[in-house]
Structure 1
Amino acid sequence: MEEPFIQVGILLSQPRIDFSLSTPYRLNGNEIGPGEYSVAFSEGKILFGKELFDEMVLEPCHVHTDSFVLKGVIIGVNFHWERKEDQRFLGGLKFIVEGNGVTAVNRVSLEDYLTSVISSEMSATSSESLLKAHAVISRSWLLAQIRKNKNDGNMCAKNTSQVCTDHEIIRWYDREDHAHFDVCADDHCQRYQGITRQSTELVTKAVEETRGRVLVYEGAICDTRFYKCCGGATETFENVWEPVVHPYLQGKADRDDNVVLPDLTNEEEAQKWIRSSPPAFCNTQDVNVLKQVLNDYDRETADFYRWKVVYSQSELAAIIHERSGIDYGEIVELIPIQRGTSGRIVRLKIRGTKHEMIIGKELEIRRTLSRSHLYSSAFVVDAEDIDENGIPGRFVFTGAGWGHGVGLCQIGAAMMAEKGYDYRQILAHYYPGSEIEITY
């Protein structure tokens, strides 16, 4: 297998996209010089200058050095740090029509892509062990998704990503939405911000020294998920996404002392766990370690391991109505129906004065209860200021961790590296039973 080229969706379904070429590119064999340009959606096609295209491909002369800039790229889509910035990318640039807009797609070599992902997902000044571990899992996850997509494309029908009845809405969100490229550039897949983020020689070294290396389990490339902070316990894959068992993605304590994790599927145990602060790799306030994992906009979040969010009755009812499209009336109670191995809620009953419904899985819960996303679904709720009709005046959420909790905990892995674990030991901790294999 040779190093593959991949296609990354950067700006999705926009009415207009402004961009600049830093070096000459080719369009249908004709050279397009460096400069400022734009494309727009017009008559169901792509308008460039005075010409209309069904698809427009700008090919670089030198794939590893030629670059372009996309203006106003949205990062942190639907998260609390959402913003726009101009970003520079290596490789080719393709514009396609999606819906009623134009989508910009970057064709880039896998290893160039990884160098950017490592610098986008965390600080480029992180420790070597952490960078190498992340290079292996980012490469593995991408190749696993591409192979999964090919297999799904050969099937008569894909697995459904939602189960809806009159009483229950269960949804999980993965990358199946991306039919015209391999992955997107945001947290929905992996953060990829081109060469906008300053990289370092150490990042380049980490990618080069793990070149082609992936994690495998029983001959198949592992679906190596990751996130910011597990909150002390990792989650089981099928509690978050499709009902497929991955033995290397099961819940465990984020520790190295063989402590048995409490049964956090039990409500009483989960309540005690989330309201306490048990020892774990990711239970740290070490600023130097956190800087390795968290870019500037990530550090706008003050607490990761344990956090609190307070809503008034009117605020929570409005958010749930706005995010779900369902008018529950006043919110009477939020009841965990099912918890996963990390204490994350998999199914939650929302009981209101007008309606009640069970929702899941974890991201659907996080999206429904916040105008962006709750940090995780590992939370407990205290109803306060309850009136004579049993209606709470406010709700206090106490939660654990940041993210879905499946696979590698970035803050925990950074602390493991700080304690002297090498990248192979970090991978063995978060993906037990997996092995490293060279694919190219």
Structure 2
Amino acid sequence: MKNTPFIQVGIQFKETIAFTLNGTYKHSSGVTLTSGKYKVSIAGNVLELVQCNNGEEILIRNGLLFEPKADDAFFTIHDVTIGINFHWERDEDQSFKGGLKLITENEKITAINVLSVEDYLMSVISSEMSATSSLELLKAHAVISRSWLLAQIEKNNSLQQATDTYQSVYQSDEKFIKWYDREDHINFDVCADDHCQRYQGITKANTSEVVEAVKNTWGEVLMNGEAICDARFSKCCGGMVEKFENVWEPVNHPYLQAFVDNDNNPDGFELDLTNESNAEKWILGSPDAFCNTNNKEVLIQVLNDYDQETNDFYRWSVSYTQKDISELLKKRTGFDFGIIQDLIPVKRGDSGRLIELKIIGDKKSLTIGKELEIRKALSESHLYSSAFIIEKAEVNGEVNFTLKGAGWGHGVGLCQIGAAVMGAKGYNYNAILMHYFRGTELKKKY
């Protein structure tokens, strides 16, 4: 449709990339690529494409965009890594509509898919969730994904124009505080993995419900005054939604605040989860919340095939021996703490998520944060969340550590499992959005 914006999505980042064209692709300079399999590698200041079928070598300039000559053309990138650094990381072939752009950055090649925002959304909804989800849930997700994307493009533009260097790390002898956002990407708008939004092109088949959800919300975004909302989402908040600034940069967004994921506050709990004893009772309990569900029919709407490998998400537990946790923290942080003596909660966010954790070893002590840095440090991939308490027990003269936690992900904004339950209970997409993004309004941008 007219005025629909186009975006650039980073798909793969490797020294050599293999892809197959299904159709003819052409650049405005006159370079044409026909159907077949290609391998691209860096050759000095240019890129070298080898046509695998006949061995033909084609040299192209860095940054060329190849566009399909026919609407039914598509390309397949081989061995795309998905779930980077997560427990279900794997490689798979993925196919894409739209244009293919090849650039070099950090001595590697980046493959970029150029396509319209709405075509992108049809894949994102099917990739982030099951394409068989309820229509109201799909519509809500279309709006927040569109809003988040357009807000990130605006933020990226402002960062590039800013004179001050964007800082996301604070380090001293006593502290290492870092947050992870999308300022990492300067040569494209968003990446295709969970770092931004999970996008798998046409690999995940669209259903008529996904198409209907996108078309019914075409151009709709959440607005906070004149600004498009930075609409975040995670798998499961664990019963309490988290504030934006406790996870990312110290900027308050009035629509990304903390509240119970329910229409009513659960009985028997003090809700100031920045307090250690309140957080412990909350995490060890099972408070009533939209996302507190074991309903398989609801969960399958949100959990794709590899996500279903995770069984416990509302409440979970992980145990480490003293030796194992000492080796893990050295490997994951790069700091040699020696033998870990203790893990001490220093600061919690409003959902009970740890945003500062002190690690005490016999060689070194250090307070780390924010939530994702803590999750990365305490797992070979990513701990489900940083909303956990620490229990210690001595076994054969060695201290063992058990982390008992709540939720899956950062917990800010929309809780996908909670929203799926709301959809199943009959809430429409506007009610779902207004529950998670309070004080916002829906507006049509194009």
Q: TM-score range by the shorter chain?
A: over 0.9
What is the correspondence of 1:105-144 to structure 2 with a 5 Å cutoff? Answer: 105-144=112-151
287, 302, 310: which is aligned to 1:301?
310
Q: In structure 2, what is the equivalent of residue 222 of structure 1?
A: 229
1:54 Cα offset (Å): 2.4
Kindly indicate whether residue 54 of structure 2 is the aligned counterpart of residue 53 of structure 1.
no
Q: In structure 2, what is the equivalent of residue 18 of structure 1?
A: 18
For 1:287 and 1:41, locate their aligned partners in 2 and report how far apart those are by CA, in whole Å.
Answer: 47
1:270 Cα offset (Å): 0.2
Which whole-Å deviations, capped at 9, do the CAs of 1:329-360 have from their partners, x for residues lacking one?
A: 11111111000010000100001111100000
For 2:344 and 2:329, locate their aligned partners in 1 and report how far apart those are by CA, in whole Å.
Answer: 15
Kindly indicate whether residue 408 of structure 2 is the aligned counterpart of residue 402 of structure 1.
yes
| Contact 1:253–1:261 (CA under 8 A) maintained in structure 2 | no
For residue 131 of structure 2, give the secondary structure of its aligned residue in structure 1.
coil
Q: Which amino acid aligns with 2:240?
A: A
For residue 125 of structure 2, give the secondary structure of its aligned residue in structure 1.
helix
For 1:434 and 1:56, locate their aligned partners in 2 and report how far apart those are by CA, in whole Å.
Answer: 40
For 2:361 and 2:97, locate their aligned partners in 1 and report how far apart those are by CA, in whole Å.
Answer: 51
Which whole-Å deviations, capped at 9, do the CAs of 1:314-337 have from their partners, x for residues lacking one?
A: 111111000111111111111110
1:36 Cα offset (Å): 1.0
For residue 336 of structure 1, give the secondary structure of its aligned residue in structure 2.
strand
Using the TM superposition, name which of 371-380 and 251-260 deviates more.
251-260
Identity %: 55
1:43 Cα offset (Å): 2.0
1:258 Cα offset (Å): 5.0
Q: Which amino acid aligns with 1:418?
A: A
Q: In structure 2, what is the equivalent of residue 311 of structure 1?
A: 320
1:38 Cα offset (Å): 1.3
| Contact 1:44–1:100 (CA under 8 A) maintained in structure 2 | no
For residue 357 of structure 1, give the secondary structure of its aligned residue in structure 2.
strand
Kindly indicate whether residue 291 of structure 2 is the aligned counterpart of residue 275 of structure 1.
no
For residue 184 of structure 2, give the secondary structure of its aligned residue in structure 1.
coil
For 1:304 and 1:122, locate their aligned partners in 2 and report how far apart those are by CA, in whole Å.
Answer: 16
Kindly indicate whether residue 339 of structure 2 is the aligned counterpart of residue 330 of structure 1.
yes
For residue 151 of structure 1, give the secondary structure of its aligned residue in structure 2.
helix
Q: In structure 2, what is the equivalent of residue 35 of structure 1?
A: 36
Which whole-Å deviations, capped at 9, do the CAs of 1:52-94 have from their partners, x for residues lacking one?
A: 52233211224x6431100000000000000000000010000
| Contact 1:46–1:56 (CA under 8 A) maintained in structure 2 | no
Q: In structure 2, what is the equivalent of residue 4 of structure 1?
A: 5
For 2:5 and 2:207, locate their aligned partners in 1 and report how far apart those are by CA, in whole Å.
Answer: 23
| TM-score, length basis structure 1 | 0.97
Q: In structure 2, what is the equivalent of residue 85 of structure 1?
A: 92
1:159 Cα offset (Å): 3.0
For residue 375 of structure 1, give the secondary structure of its aligned residue in structure 2.
coil
For residue 259 of structure 2, give the secondary structure of its aligned residue in structure 1.
coil
For 2:45 and 2:396, locate their aligned partners in 1 and report how far apart those are by CA, in whole Å.
Answer: 56
Q: Which amino acid aligns with 2:440?
A: S
For 2:73 and 2:431, locate their aligned partners in 1 and report how far apart those are by CA, in whole Å.
Answer: 37
For 2:58 and 2:236, locate their aligned partners in 1 and report how far apart those are by CA, in whole Å.
Answer: 50
For residue 195 of structure 2, give the secondary structure of its aligned residue in structure 1.
coil
For residue 81 of structure 1, give the secondary structure of its aligned residue in structure 2.
coil
Q: Which amino acid aligns with 2:360?
A: R
Pair 255,105 (structure 1): closer, same or farther in 2 beyond 3 Å = same
| Contact 2:133–2:302 (CA under 8 A) maintained in structure 1 | yes
For 1:35 and 1:159, locate their aligned partners in 2 and report how far apart those are by CA, in whole Å.
Answer: 42
1:41 Cα offset (Å): 1.8
Q: In structure 2, what is the equivalent of residue 438 of structure 1?
A: 444
155, 160, 179: which is aligned to 2:186?
179
For residue 182 of structure 2, give the secondary structure of its aligned residue in structure 1.
coil
For residue 55 of structure 1, give the secondary structure of its aligned residue in structure 2.
coil
CA RMSD for the aligned pairs?
A: 1.3
Q: Which amino acid aligns with 2:304?
A: N
For 2:170 and 2:445, locate their aligned partners in 1 and report how far apart those are by CA, in whole Å.
Answer: 37
Q: Which amino acid aligns with 1:402?
A: W
98, 119, 138: which is aligned to 2:105?
98
For 1:201 and 1:65, locate their aligned partners in 2 and report how far apart those are by CA, in whole Å.
Answer: 18
For 2:242 and 2:72, locate their aligned partners in 1 and report how far apart those are by CA, in whole Å.
Answer: 40
For 1:399 and 1:45, locate their aligned partners in 2 and report how far apart those are by CA, in whole Å.
Answer: 49
What is the correspondence of 1:200-279 to structure 2 with a 5 Å cutoff? Answer: 200-257=207-264, 262-279=271-288
What is the correspondence of 1:342-361 to structure 2 with a 5 Å cutoff? Answer: 342-361=351-370
For residue 385 of structure 1, give the secondary structure of its aligned residue in structure 2.
strand
| Contact 1:44–1:97 (CA under 8 A) maintained in structure 2 | no
For 1:155 and 1:75, locate their aligned partners in 2 and report how far apart those are by CA, in whole Å.
Answer: 32
Gaps of 5+ in 2: 50-56
Which whole-Å deviations, capped at 9, do the CAs of 1:8-56 have from their partners, x for residues lacking one?
A: 00002x1111101111111332432211111112224311224252233
For 1:261 and 1:209, locate their aligned partners in 2 and report how far apart those are by CA, in whole Å.
Answer: 41
1:154 Cα offset (Å): 1.3
For residue 408 of structure 2, give the secondary structure of its aligned residue in structure 1.
coil
Which whole-Å deviations, capped at 9, do the CAs of 1:81-113 have from their partners, x for residues lacking one?
A: 000000000100000011111110000110000
| TM-score, length basis structure 2 | 0.95
Q: Which amino acid aligns with 1:415?
A: V
Q: In structure 1, what is the equivalent of residue 172 of structure 2?
A: 165
For residue 399 of structure 1, give the secondary structure of its aligned residue in structure 2.
strand
Gaps of 5+ in 1: none
For 1:8 and 1:266, locate their aligned partners in 2 and report how far apart those are by CA, in whole Å.
Answer: 41
Q: Which amino acid aligns with 1:297?
A: Y
| Contact 1:24–1:34 (CA under 8 A) maintained in structure 2 | yes
1:198 Cα offset (Å): 1.5
Q: Which amino acid aligns with 2:25?
A: Y
Q: In structure 2, what is the equivalent of residue 289 of structure 1?
A: 298
